[in-house]
């Protein structure tokens, strides 16, 4: 087995997804005796920035078809994707198929596990744990929740955001007033897994509508906690949200991006980190149907037995999504390229 280490941007902030992933892979590699400072260097970066290292492989988590700038930075270095769609995005960018592999990431079920709800027990809480980026799906979420639960004060929408703009918060408040819904908007950074678990444990259901992700940690975490989870069966979540088995999925339409679409989302305060030009394959993402989101929300709200079944199945499935499996896969991929 090939030994390795995963590194990334030295400026990565603790408890942001990039550093969480890097730390968990390295910790798992240590447990398997696969970690070695002198082993192969795997650089994790969303846009294939080498950060001064000489990488033997790259984990590139860009959420659309790779643009030319990423393809150029990858060069002839082996690329490890973290989902089948992420793998496809790399190929659509023109990378050599012989250099591209993929492995699922993981979830730490010693940190994220089922526990009784203790907060907001007077409400049925539908939560979303994401960021207000253009691909966050908040416009679909607010319209679906508002049309379904407008005027119903027994159901609460809990929005966990991070680095949200004042414009986005104003837009959220406008939707709250327009639809007459009960909503908490929490724009903060959680600095530990314990803090994340404490927040997520107040959810009765999790609705994650990102138009594109690579792995998508939050729905994987809520599934591990036994929280019935709604997600689009696209990108990362389709690796673990299996419709009516481990969660509920939403029908969607593929939408090709252009400057107008991105501009409209930025008008409500959503932030954009995507490249806007220079694609070999025009970029696209998956927009869930509002009617499908409403149907899934209503089903979880009304059916206690369905919530219990999804809760049990999801938590059981999550136990196989180990970081050790991810680390072993990376070692095998490196062995394929380097013997």
Domain assignment of residue 189, given as a range: 124-318
Are 8 and 100 in the same domain?
Answer: yes
Give the residue among 313, 309, 331, 324 at the shortest CA–CA distance from 110: 324
Q: What is the pLDDT along the chain (339 residues), one digit of tens a residue?
A: 999 999 999 999 888 999 999 999 999 999 999 999 999 999 999 999 999 999 999 999 999 999 999 999 999 999 999 999 999 999 999 999 999 999 999 999 999 999 999 899 999 999 999 999 999 999 999 999 999 999 999 999 999 999 999 999 999 999 999 999 999 999 999 999 999 999 999 999 999 999 999 999 999 999 999 999 999 999 999 999 999 999 999 999 999 999 999 999 999 999 999 999 999 999 999 999 999 999 999 999 999 999 999 999 999 999 999 999 999 999 999 999 998
The pLDDT score that the predictor gives to residue 339 is 84
Are 13 and 99 in the same domain?
Answer: yes
Are 134 and 225 in the same domain?
Answer: yes
- Look at residue 65 and tell me if it is in a domain: yes
- Chain centroid to CA 11: 21
Q: Provide the whole-model pTM.
A: 0.96
Assign 7 to helix, strand or coil: strand
Tokens found for residue 2: 């090939």
Are 296 and 174 in the same domain?
Answer: yes
Contact by Cβ (8 Å): 108, 323: yes
User: How many separate domains does the chain show?
Assistant: 2
- Look at residue 113 and tell me if it is in a domain: no
- Look at residue 147 and tell me if it is in a domain: yes
- Look at residue 13 and tell me if it is in a domain: yes
């Amino acid at each position: 087995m090939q030994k390795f280490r995963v590194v990334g941007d030295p400026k990565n902030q603790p408890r942001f997804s990039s550093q969480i992933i890097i730390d968990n892979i390295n910790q798992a590699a240590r447990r398997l005796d696969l970690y070695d400072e002198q082993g192969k260097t795997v650089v994790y970066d969303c846009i294939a920035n080498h950060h001064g290292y000489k990488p033997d492989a790259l984990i590139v988590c860009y959420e659309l078809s790779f643009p030319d700038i990423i393809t150029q930075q990858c060069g002839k270095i082996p690329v490890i994707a973290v989902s089948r769609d992420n793998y496809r995005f790399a190929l659509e960018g023109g990378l050599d198929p012989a250099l591209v592999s993929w492995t699922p990431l993981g979830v730490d079920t010693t940190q994220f596990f089922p526990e009784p709800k203790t907060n907001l027990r007077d409400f049925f809480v539908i939560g979303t744990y994401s960021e207000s980026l253009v691909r966050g799906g908040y416009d679909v979420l607010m319209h679906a929740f508002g049309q379904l639960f407008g005027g119903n004060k027994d159901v609460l929408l809990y929005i966990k955001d991070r680095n949200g703009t004042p414009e986005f918060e104003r837009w959220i408040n406008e939707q709250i007033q327009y639809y007459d819904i009960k909503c908490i908007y929490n724009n903060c950074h959680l600095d530990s897994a314990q803090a994340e678990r404490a927040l997520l444990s107040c959810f009765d259901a999790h609705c994650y509508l990102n138009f594109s992700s690579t792995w998508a940690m939050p729905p994987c975490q809520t599934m591990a906690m036994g929280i019935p989870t709604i997600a689009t069966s696209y990108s990362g979540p389709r690796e673990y949200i299996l419709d009516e088995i481990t969660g509920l999925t939403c029908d969607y339409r593929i939408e090709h991006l252009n400057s107008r679409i991105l501009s409209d989302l930025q008008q409500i305060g959503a932030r954009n980190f995507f490249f806007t030009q220079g694609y070999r394959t025009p970029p696209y993402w998956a927009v869930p149907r509002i009617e499908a989101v409403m149907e899934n929300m209503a089903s979880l709200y009304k059916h206690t037995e369905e919530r219990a079944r999804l809760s049990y199945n999801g938590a059981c499935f999550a136990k196989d999504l180990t970081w050790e499996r991810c680390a072993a896969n990376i070692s095998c991929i490196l062995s394929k390229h380097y013997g």
